[in-house]
């Protein structure tokens, strides 16, 4: 284990799960979020060269290690992919030749990747499932601090603060691979691995959460002004919650619970479109949403705000850690509330009281 990994593991793992009587949102720590982002390999792209692909495999192993140290038993769900494999699949599907992937992948053979899954089973409604997810792969040449080191760090920290907290519904946390090559990880999960006997009450994709700015005209929008419905913000000082009208109820509940758990958090809910525009389908919530499950994307809006998107400058130094921490507190609190917190059982009267001097201790001694 190298020195950086040792330090990161120490920061992430010391302290373990929180007391179930504590509010999870209050337990989120900026230092842990930063340690997670710094601990990720800066080369972790399936579409990249040998170093990138090795880095992506290393990221899978790191996530398993960190989750085990938090007391979880991670599941590895296999994904087979490389560019040649994708090209073959596209040919079978009848994709026009001009749109097919090139039949090359840095000379590497077909490779198996993995999604990483952990969960907290619900105590009374285990078949009702809230899914929190992020992707951990990046693109070649970009260190991926915001995209999507912030999502990974957020989900790890939420996993820590919710561990051991009793809730009515199941909370499942999924670290998706291969998002950057066409949402392959989430598509395969929805198609093959999502249990058919469960009800997904909501799915939240944590997609770039750490870039904020107060500069005028720093925010663009994929949707223009709609009179009486939507006035596009022009300052990049908020976190967006994006979905379609059908899932507005879940989006609004998520928004309300986030703001209640993180006072001062600024949000914008975009849930007024009956059909998702292309830019609303750019993260791992899309396969859930397109199959009728309440999926939302939580995002700082990526290239509509962040000038470092998919560039070598996407580093932790560009992030606003204070506002990022506030977002994570909001998600942790919302997840806890939506999953249904179970109050601790009342203690028996006098259970913690110490005998007063001269009072019988129940051992017959009277001392």
Using one digit for the tens of pLDDT, what is the confidence trace for 294-325?
999 999 999 999 999 999 999 999 999 999 99
In a domain, 149, yes or no: yes
Tell me the two tokens of residue 46. Answer: 């399936």
Q: What pLDDT does residue 87 have?
A: 60
Using the CB atoms, write b or e for 225-256: b if 16+ within 10 Å. eeeeebeebeebbbbbbbbbeebeebbebbbe
pLDDT tens string 129-145 = 999 999 999 999 999 99
Does 36 fall in a domain? no
DSSP letter assigned to residue 193: I
Contact between 264 and 239 (Cβ < 8 Å) = no
For residue 355, what are its two tokens?
């005998």
Q: Is residue 73 part of a domain?
A: yes
CA distance 159 to 146: 19
**Residue 1 predicted with pLDDT over 50:** no
Q: Please, what is the angle between helix 30-39 and helix 3-13, to 10°?
A: 150
Q: Is residue 79 part of a domain?
A: yes
What's the gap between Cα 229 and its chain centre? 29
pLDDT at 164 over 50: yes
pLDDT at 343: 85
Q: Across all residues in the chain, what is the average pLDDT?
A: 88
pLDDT at 214 over 60: yes
SS3 call for 305: coil
Is 3 domain-assigned? no
pLDDT on residue 351:
58
- Average pLDDT estimate for 273-281: 93
State how many domains the chain has.
Answer: 1
Find the DSSP H helices in 105-197: 150-162, 184-188
Of 331, 234, 248, nearest to 294 by C-alpha is 248
Does residue 278 sit within a domain?
yes
Per-residue model confidence as pLDDT tens digits over 88-98: 665 666 656 65
CA angle 214, 302, 274 (to 5 degrees): 105
Structure tokens at 237: 């000082």
Report angle CA 126, 129, 131 to the nearest 5 degrees.
145
pLDDT at 173 over 90: yes
The answer to whether residue 102 sits within a structural domain is no
Peptide bond into 339 cis (omega under 30): no
Mean pLDDT comparison of 76-85, 130-139, 353-362, highest-scoring range: 130-139
Percentage of the chain modeled with pLDDT above 70: 81
Quick one: how many helices (H) and strands (E) in the chain?
9, 8
Query: For the segment 220-244, what is each residue's pLDDT rounded down to a tens digit?
Result: 999 999 998 999 999 999 999 999 9
pLDDT number for residue 160:
98
Q: Give the model's confidence band at 186: pLDDT under 50 very low, under 70 low, under 90 confident, else very high.
A: very high
Residue 354 has pLDDT above 60, yes or no: no
Range of the domain at 138: 44-84+111-339
| C-alpha dist (Å) from residue 338 to 139, 204, 250, 293 | 33, 12, 9, 16
* pLDDT > 90? residue 360: no
Report if residue 15 sits inside a domain: no
Look up the CATH number of the domain holding residue 154: 3.40.630.10
- Residue 320 phi/psi, 5-degree rounding, is -100, 95
């Amino acid at each position: 284990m190298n020195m950086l990994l040792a330090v990161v593991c120490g920061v992430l793992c010391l302290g373990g799960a929180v007391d179930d009587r504590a509010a999870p949102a209050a337990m989120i720590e900026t230092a842990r979020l930063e340690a997670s982002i710094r601990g990720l390999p800066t080369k972790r792209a399936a579409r990249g060269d040998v170093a990138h692909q090795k880095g992506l495999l290393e990221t899978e192993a790191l996530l398993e290690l960190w989750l085990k140290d938090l007391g979880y038993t991670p599941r590895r769900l296999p994904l087979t992919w490389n560019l040649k494999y994708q090209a073959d699949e596209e040919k079978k599907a009848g994709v026009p030749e001009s749109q097919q992937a090139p039949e090359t992948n840095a000379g590497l053979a077909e490779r198996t990747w993995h999604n990483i899954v952990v969960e907290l089973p619900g105590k009374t409604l285990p078949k009702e499932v809230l899914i929190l997810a992020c992707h951990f792969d990046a693109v070649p040449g970009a260190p991926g601090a915001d995209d999507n080191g912030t999502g990974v760090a957020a989900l790890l920290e939420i996993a820590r603060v919710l561990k051991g907290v009793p809730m009515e519904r199941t909370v499942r946390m999924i670290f998706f691979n291969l998002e950057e090559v066409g949402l392959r990880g989430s598509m395969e999960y929805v198609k093959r691995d999502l249990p058919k006997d469960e009800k997904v009450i909501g799915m939240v994709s944590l997609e770039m959460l750490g870039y904020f700015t107060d500069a005028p005209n720093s925010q663009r929008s994929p949707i223009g002004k709609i009179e009486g419905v939507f006035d596009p913000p022009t300052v990049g000082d908020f976190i967006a919650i994006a979905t379609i009208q059908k899932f507005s109820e879940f989006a609004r509940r998520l928004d309300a619970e986030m703001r209640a758990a993180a006072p001062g958090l600024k949000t914008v809910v975009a849930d007024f479109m009956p059909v998702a525009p292309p830019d609303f389908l750019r993260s791992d919530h899309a396969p859930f949403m397109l199959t009728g499950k309440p999926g939302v994307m939580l995002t700082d809006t990526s290239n509509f705000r962040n000038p470092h998107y998919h560039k070598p400058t996407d580093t932790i130094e560009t992030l606003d850690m204070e506002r990022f921490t506030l977002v994570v507190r909001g998600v942790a609190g919302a997840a806890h509330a939506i999953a249904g917190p179970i109050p601790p059982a009342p203690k028996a009267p006098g259970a913690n009281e110490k005998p007063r001097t001269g009072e019988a201790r129940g051992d017959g001694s009277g001392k």
